């Protein structure tokens, strides 16, 4: 959903010198006919894709123009939690939430090219996905495991399950734990947001060994954005905390907090230059949510 991006050293130093506590929303993009909203992913240029959690609809936005359209309609019963885009092959990976489901769409044809069921269909909740050079990793919010789908030249392989060990191996059929997942550009390190303890964990994708990103305390964290040594933690309590992390992603230091009067349970974010595109979930209005609109807020990072 939210990949790690490279950042020039000069820009990093300039950014770390300024730790403004808040910024105002500069643009509101309403998702037409949405019944909920969750994941967002960049698709190149000013194009982004966002998923309707409950209805499963995929929206396409042009953040430069401030427009959004219904892009992929899906059958009743499909959901769309986290999303991430494989630009090389035009494949949109969607975490399907309940039932251990996940889907892959070809954005050129809008056709569904894969339909997966991971874990235990009765208890697994596939919450987010990140695309790496090797394939796509999916989280399970109720079990200490990740699911991996190989992707070689746009050809998807047989899924496998990676059991997790260490402090980030939380969750049970009765305990919600992992939410968002991101990856370094090489795909050799994964980071997950653990909502219940409000922590961020690093995962070795080869061994499943986890370690806490120490110093980062983000209650109700649901989503992450990492650019160079800057980390943004999207929190359901209407704020986004900013952190500086070290090179091996083992420690973090606070840089301030982004707030906005229009935040209403922000649930995910993506980088747009020096701004963030933040998805408002309105999830505390009930389940399914009952907000009359669901929107993306473009705010300063």
Strand runs labelled E in 31-164: 40-44, 47-51, 58-62, 67-72, 83-86, 91-95, 101-106, 111-117, 126-131, 135-140, 145-152, 155-156, 160-163
CA distances from 82 to 18, 167, 207, 243 (A): 31, 23, 24, 22
**163 is a domain residue:** yes
- 10-54: pLDDT as tens digits: 223 223 333 334 445 579 999 999 999 999 999 999 999 999 999
Q: Where are the alpha helices (DSSP H) in 250-291?
A: none
**2 is a domain residue:** no
**128 is a domain residue:** yes
**What's the pLDDT at 16?**
30
Backbone φ and ψ for 230, nearest 5 degrees, come out as -110, 130
**What's the pLDDT at 25?**
53
Range of the domain at 49: 9-300
**238 is a domain residue:** yes
**46 is a domain residue:** yes
**131 is a domain residue:** yes
**What's the pLDDT at 22?**
42
**283 is a domain residue:** yes
**3 is a domain residue:** no
Q: How far is the C-alpha of 107 from the C-alpha of 104, rounded, in Å?
A: 9
| In the chain, % of residues over pLDDT 70 | 92
- Cβ(208)–Cβ(226) below 8 Å: no
CATH number at residue 179: 2.120.10.30
Distance in Å from the first CA to the final CA of the chain: 18
- 172-198: pLDDT as tens digits: 999 999 999 999 999 999 999 999 999
In the chain, the number of structural domains is 1
**What's the pLDDT at 178?**
96
Could you tell me the two tokens for 264? 């209403």
Residues of the chain with pLDDT under 50: 1-23
- Cβ(21)–Cβ(301) below 8 Å: no
Q: How far is the C-alpha of 227 from the C-alpha of 232, rounded, in Å?
A: 9
Backbone φ and ψ for 10, nearest 5 degrees, come out as -65, -45
Whether the pTM exceeds 0.75: the reply is yes
Backbone φ and ψ for 33, nearest 5 degrees, come out as 75, 15
């Amino acid at each position: 959903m939210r990949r790690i991006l490279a950042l020039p050293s000069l820009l990093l130093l300039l950014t770390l010198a300024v730790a403004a506590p808040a910024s105002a929303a500069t643009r509101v993009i309403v998702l037409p006919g949405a019944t909920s909203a969750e994941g967002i992913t960049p698709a190149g240029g000013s194009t982004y894709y966002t998923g309707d959690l409950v209805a499963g609809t995929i929206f396409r936005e042009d953040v430069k123009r401030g427009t959004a359209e219904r892009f992929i309609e899906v059958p009743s019963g499909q959901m769309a939690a986290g999303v991430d885009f494989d630009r090389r092959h035009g494949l949109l990976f969607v975490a399907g939430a309940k039932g251990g489901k996940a889907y892959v769409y070809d954005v050129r044809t809008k056709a569904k090219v894969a339909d997966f069921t991971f874990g235990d269909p009765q208890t697994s909740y596939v919450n987010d996905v990140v695309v790496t050079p090797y394939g796509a990793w999916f989280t399970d919010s109720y079990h200490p495991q990740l699911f991996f789908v190989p992707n070689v030249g746009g050809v998807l392989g047989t899924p496998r399950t990676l059991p997790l060990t260490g402090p980030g191996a939380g969750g049970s059929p009765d305990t919600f734990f992992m939410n968002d997942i991101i990856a370094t550009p090489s795909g050799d390190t994964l980071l997950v947001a653990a909502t219940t303890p409000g922590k961020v964990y690093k995962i070795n994708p080869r061994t499943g060994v986890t370690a806490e990103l120490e110093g980062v305390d983000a209650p109700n964290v649901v989503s992450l954005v990492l650019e160079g040594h800057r980390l943004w933690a999207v929190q359901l309590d209407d704020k986004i905390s900013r952190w500086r992390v070290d090179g091996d992603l083992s420690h973090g230091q606070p840089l301030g907090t982004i707030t906005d009067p229009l935040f209403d349970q922000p649930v995910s974010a993506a980088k747009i230059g020096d701004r963030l595109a933040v998805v408002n979930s309105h999830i505390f209005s009930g389940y399914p949510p009952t907000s009359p609109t669901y929107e993306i807020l473009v705010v300063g990072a």
